[in-house]
Amino acid sequence: MKFDTPATTNPIDQLKVIGKPTDRVEGPLKTTGTAPYAYERHDVAPDAAYGYVVGAGIAKGRIASMDLAAARAAPGVITIVTARNAGKLGKGNFNTAKLLAGPQVDHYHQAVALVVARSIEEARAAAQLVKVTYERTPGKFDLQAEKAGAKMPKPTAFAGPPQSKVGDFEGTFPTAPVQLDASYTTPDQSHAMMEPHATVAAWKGDKLTVWTSNQMVAWSVGDLAKTLGIPKANVRLVSPFIGGGFGGKLFLRADVLLASLGARAAKRPVKVALQRPVMINNTTHRPATIQRVRIGTTRDGKITAIAHEGWSGNLPDGSAETAVNQTRLLYAGANRLTTTRLAVLDLPEGNAMRAPGEAPGLMVLEIAMDEMAEKLGMDPVEFRIANDTQMDPEKPGRPFSQRKLVECLRTGADRFGWNKRNAKPAQVRDGRWLVGMGVAAAFRNNLLTKSAARVRLDNRGMVTVETDMTDIGTGSYTIIAQTAAETMGVPLAKVFVRLGDSAFPVSCGSGGQWGGNNSTSGVYAACMKLREAIAKKAGMPAADVEFADGMVRSGERSMPLAEVAGSDGLVGEDFIEYGDLDKKYQQSTFGAHFVEVAVDAATGEVRVRRMLAVCAAGRILNPKAARSQVIGAMTMGVGAALMEELAVDKRRGFFVNHDLASYEVPVHADIPHQDVIFLDETDPISSPMKAKGVGELGICGVGAAVANAIYNATGVRVRDYPITLDKLLAGLPAVA
């Protein structure tokens, strides 16, 4: 189905099932422990051996020698895979050949060997006997030290150009009546998902099946085939349940490749799970940034010049953190400059983590907006509203399909009691606590991606949906079931959803907050194809049929769907694609975050007291699931603001706090009551579902809202995240 003109009315607009706060259809499986996650697939490989990954003990250099004799002789050992016996590995789209080091080592804990044994205990014990001698070479591990040598990266489809210029920023900024020029930093962060990277791999002749935890099935099938040098048709990837990803499972990782190599060498299925310390250094992370923001305004608060520059680091073939990109679209201003620069670092790979670009970028831009509002003597909400725009500020004449940022800010301010905020910092006390409020805008683009599905109708009236779309805890099963139920006119109980199998039609996958909108649109397209087949078999005009209550009707005629399907059943398969709508319109999602904090006047301890998110993200397909996504994102935003930081050993080049004991994330006691408001919005230009993504919008801006609230409470402005006690203590007002 081509969707190149805005939808007006369609079966989804009935809103009998879509738009309702529906419980998770897969919830009983998860709550009873019967949902099969990757490492738990005992049913597919009851005789599986166990693989244990040996990670590199240096950050940069070469393997001089590797003594495997003691490990091979250890009890239960079946085989050991290294670069020497793995065979030639091809370079996939994400440089997957480097998932197994040898002889070159590119980063700490890069896999150098996989020990395969009868049990995990035997594999782990034998792995300790692998003796590796390295030749270490000097590495670059400090972004600040390498900043001067950073260069503009190549443009990519996702990142766009590394620099944008509109008007004359350099000529306008110095003459602006009010100016801000400030620099900020954000640290390296870990996805820290609960389920580790894990895979069961099994060969049958020259055919490989991997049961794994992966967000993008089709991407990884292609990369695994390229890496192993086998036909894509010979690879099947199955990933029906994923225990969290946040972008860390977008790509083929070492667990999949090494399990596949281990199973081939052992001639039996092999299970591999990356142990937590290896996971944090071996897989991807959100890279640290240095950012500079300059804003020039008139005295009445109109932005005349705005610049945002960002620096991040990565391995030589890596990508940059696009922290400046939202600044190209969020606020008006005639003279604009954004620049992204990338330094070469020998740390583990930096890559996508929930809202890549916007999450760290808005942590900075939205502090700068508050700092500018204070210089102007304006309310921070009103300053943002004064600089709203309904047109893409970099491409005059290109409107936003929907843009309700002002309504988000006004609604949030009213609900949160913003009018009670004291604009002067460090004025409100509650006993020993200093109390403050903060606000930040939220922004995330709405990305349109081709997505396909297959829908079957059987003689029981059951509708089965098949697509390789994944569910990373976001509710894909449920919103896809809702879409099929709504479109086919059947109860939700009559829909069965099968996901995460490369044998199914290729979907958009889970990432970039594009999953919900695009995958359901693909299912809608397949359902419309099935409706055509049903109408044809029933002898009814396809343009004049109604599907409701498990029946198909046209005029005075009606038939049960089960009867039309017959013993052979009917199948509809199709995909959604969008023409050039995303070129005619800028499609984005918007929101506003409000936070109240209390800071201990003596110790600097920060406690978040209240949080509110207001989101404008098109039609909300399932308010219950969407709220869950947003409050989870808000929680991650609190972590980014107050505690999350991968500590870099700048001598040895690794993340020191590589476990969940020392990499701190928020726990229940850290998070107060959270409110979420979804504006009543549909976007007919986005998709037939008239929806957009929301799962990453919820984190965008949260860190800055917390930082701005801390400043309002204490008068201490922290520009280097996370905001820890040591950065507050010296500036706290005297205790009365």
Sheet architecture: strand order including 163-166: 163-166, 335-344, 303-314, 289-297, 178-186
pTM, two decimal places: 0.97
pLDDT at 317 > cutoff 80: yes
pLDDT at 426 > cutoff 70: yes
Q: Could you report the per-residue pLDDT of 638-653, keeping only the tens digit for each?
A: 999 999 999 999 999 9
| Average pLDDT of the chain to the nearest whole number | 97
Question: What pLDDT is attached to residue 502?
Answer: 98
Greatest pairwise CA separation for the chain in angstroms: 84
Query: How many other CB atoms sit within 10 Å of the CB of residue 587?
Result: 23
Q: Same topology for domains 11-35+449-500+513-577 and 400-447+584-731, yes or no?
A: yes
Q: Could you report the per-residue pLDDT of 112-142, keeping only the tens digit for each?
A: 999 999 999 999 999 999 999 999 999 999 9
Residue length, the chain? Answer: 736
Q: Decide: 656 and 108 in contact? Cβ < 8 Å.
A: no
SS3 334: coil
Q: Decide: 131 and 74 in contact? Cβ < 8 Å.
A: no
Question: What pLDDT is attached to residue 6?
Answer: 72
pLDDT at 735 > cutoff 80: no
Question: What pLDDT is attached to residue 8?
Answer: 67
Find the helix packing angle between 476-488 and 515-538, rounded to 10°: 30
Question: What pLDDT is attached to residue 560?
Answer: 98
pLDDT at 385 > cutoff 70: yes
Query: How many other CB atoms sit within 10 Å of the CB of residue 410?
Result: 17
Q: Could you report the per-residue pLDDT of 688-710, keeping only the tens digit for each?
A: 999 999 999 999 999 999 999 99
Strand partners, 501: 238
- Architecture per CATH, domain 11-35+449-500+513-577, reads as 2-Layer Sandwich (3.30)
696 labelled catalytic = yes
Q: Could you report the per-residue pLDDT of 406-419, keeping only the tens digit for each?
A: 999 999 999 999 99
Q: Average pLDDT, stretch 382-386?
A: 98
- The encoded tokens of residue 230 equal 């086998």
The DSSP result for 60-129, as a single string, is SEEEEEEE-HHHHTSTTEEEEE-TTTS------TT-GGGGB--SEE-STT-EEEEEEESSHHHHHHHHTT
The amino acid at 511: G
CATH classification code of 400-447+584-731: 3.30.365.10
Q: Could you report the per-residue pLDDT of 530-558, keeping only the tens digit for each?
A: 999 999 999 999 888 999 999 999 999 99
Q: Average pLDDT, stretch 657-675?
A: 96
pLDDT band at 77 (very low <50, low <70, confident <90, very high): very high
pLDDT at 7 > cutoff 80: no
pLDDT band at 399 (very low <50, low <70, confident <90, very high): very high
The contacts of residue 9 (CB under 8 Å, 6+ apart) are: none
Domain ranges (residues) in the chain: 11-35+449-500+513-577, 400-447+584-731
Catalytic residue among 122, 596, 645, 696: 696
Question: pLDDT: is 154 or 396 the higher one?
Answer: 154
pLDDT band at 501 (very low <50, low <70, confident <90, very high): very high
pLDDT at 717 > cutoff 70: yes
Q: Could you report the per-residue pLDDT of 350-373, keeping only the tens digit for each?
A: 999 999 999 999 999 999 999 999
Question: What pLDDT is attached to residue 736?
Answer: 65
Sheet architecture: strand order including 606-616: 429-430, 433-445, 588-600, 606-616, 673-678
Q: Average pLDDT, stretch 252-279?
A: 97
Alpha carbon distance 231, 210 (integer Å): 15
